[in-house]
Amino acid sequence: MRPGSSGRRAAGMGAVVLAAATGLAACSSQPDGTGASSAGASQAAGGGTYTIWDPYPQFDDSSDWVKLLTQCGTQAGVTVKRTGYDTTDLTNKALLAAQQGNSPDVLIVDNPVVSTLAEAGVLTTTEENNLDVASIEPNLLAAGQLGGKTYGVPIGANTLALYYNKDVLKKAGVDADAVKDWASLTAALEKVKAAGKKGITFAGIGTEEGSFQFLPWFWGAGANLTKLDSPEGVSALSLWADWVKKGYAPTSVINNTQTTSWQEFATGDFAFGENGTWQLANAKKTGFDYGIIPIPAKDGGTAPAPTGGEFVSIPVQSDTARYATSQKLVTCLTSTDNSLTTTTTLSYIAPTEAVQAKQVEQNAELKVWVEAVKAAKGRTSDNLGTKYPKISEPMWKAMQAAMSGSQSPQEALTAAQATAASATQ
């Protein structure tokens, strides 16, 4: 069906609210924005007011972000009315607005939510609206694809890497550059513990944040989300469980969020902390020298870490004449000229190689993050779409069981696979 069809908008809408929380892992939430706005679908095309909803309530009208939205509206010959919502709130409001035939003209949502909205018939495809995605890195674009179709343009990405405390490693006789695989990382943790310091902290909480932080190790072992209890998957969970058992990671990781995990690393007692680009500003405030290395895959190389970041999409409208202007707005927001400003403002790595190179030119510290993003993978990639949350939950429950010692990694993941398989049939 073409966009604008009432059948497309209604398809599955009532049933699909499940992945709303999956975007919380990659980005720290801010307080809710104030003041909702209607989509204004009755506005005449080629002028008037166009609405944009985004998950950045922390930015007010004086911010570079909102100034860019206004500028793009001016270039398109329209007035932009923008509303920022908390990530989870935005997903629910987008589903409700689509039910009511009152969607915004442009919707910016966290990448795991794209497949939920696409399956519900909320979004148009890039092909339908002639949005050019040829220069976008394929692994980033994949997070917004379902059934061979692409439902938006990534505005940028963040992901995970390992921060390390240079002083702690030096005193333990560890060279961070020598950490290339799991064996060398575990050996480093052993030396750090022997030197009287703490090894590694991460977020292993029983929520999507825990799954988000476990995935680089899971994927880095060569495991696939469709088979949680594979030997590769078991080896990844065994790594974490063994670290906790041997005291290389504190028992607090079982309940750690990415925020509390960062707070532990910021004490200066830990050698390593798994966290994301969004902590770069805080890293500069720690008072100690730090470095960053990619999360190593089991046998070497950079592990595929999950991507965070949003897609700029065009929701289905009953007035299809509005799409031409919406396309101009999306093209402006994601253009090469504006991408450097946008990704700097949002603390993201750009989705195109050309702008990534400019980012590294301006800040050499971003090189490791560009490498991590190039190796990264969308949680809903491999055409998992809305199956992902049904797999992620039993996975994080298995993590909890294994790290607490209530089940072996094999037992925990065997149970998780049975639950996931039943839920995704």
The answer to whether residue 196 is domain-embedded is yes
One digit per residue, the tens of pLDDT, for the chain of length 425 reads: 222 332 333 333 433 433 443 444 554 333 333 333 333 333 444 569 999 999 999 999 999 999 999 999 999 999 999 999 988 789 999 999 999 999 999 999 999 999 999 999 999 999 999 999 999 999 999 999 999 999 999 999 999 999 999 999 999 999 999 999 999 999 999 999 999 999 999 999 999 999 999 999 999 999 999 999 999 999 999 999 999 999 999 999 999 999 999 999 999 999 999 999 999 989 999 999 999 999 999 999 999 999 999 999 999 999 999 999 999 999 999 999 999 989 988 889 999 999 999 999 999 999 999 999 999 999 999 889 999 999 999 999 999 999 999 999 999 999 999 999 999 98
What is the domain extent for residue 351?
A: 6-158+308-375
The C-alpha atoms of residue 380 and residue 388 are separated, in whole angstroms, by 6
Is residue 235 helix, strand or coil? helix
Identify which of 334, 277, 345 has the alpha carbon closest to the alpha carbon of residue 311.
334
Q: What is the CATH number of the domain that holds 228?
A: 3.40.190.10
- The number of distinct structural domains making up the chain is 2
Q: Would you list the DSSP string of 62-78?
A: TSHHHHHHHHHHHHHTS
329/352 same-domain check: yes
Asked if the structure places residue 1 within a domain, the reply is no
Which of 375, 394, 414 is the last residue in one of the domains?
A: 375
Q: What pTM was estimated for this model as a whole?
A: 0.85
The Cα-based distances of 54 to 194, 203, 368 in angstroms read 48, 26, 28
H or E element in which residue 331 lies: helix 323-333
pLDDT for 44 equals 40
Cβ pair 373, 406 in contact under 8 A: no
Q: Which amino acid is at 340?
A: L
DSSP-derived pairing of the beta strands 49-54 and 106-110? parallel
Note whether 376 and 206 are within 8 A (CB).
Answer: no
Same-domain pairing of 229 and 327:
no
Assess whether 183 and 267 both reside in one domain: yes
Q: What pLDDT, on a 0 to 100 scale, did the predictor assign at position 383?
A: 86
What is the reported pLDDT for 25? 53
27: exposed, middle or buried (Cβ count in 10 Å: 0-12, 13-18, 19+): buried
Nearest-10 crossing angle of helices 323-333, 64-76 = 140
Same-domain check for residues 119 and 249? no
Strands of the sheet with 160-165, listed across from one edge: 198-201, 270-276, 160-165, 290-293
d(CA 122, CA 380) in angstroms, rounded, equals: 17
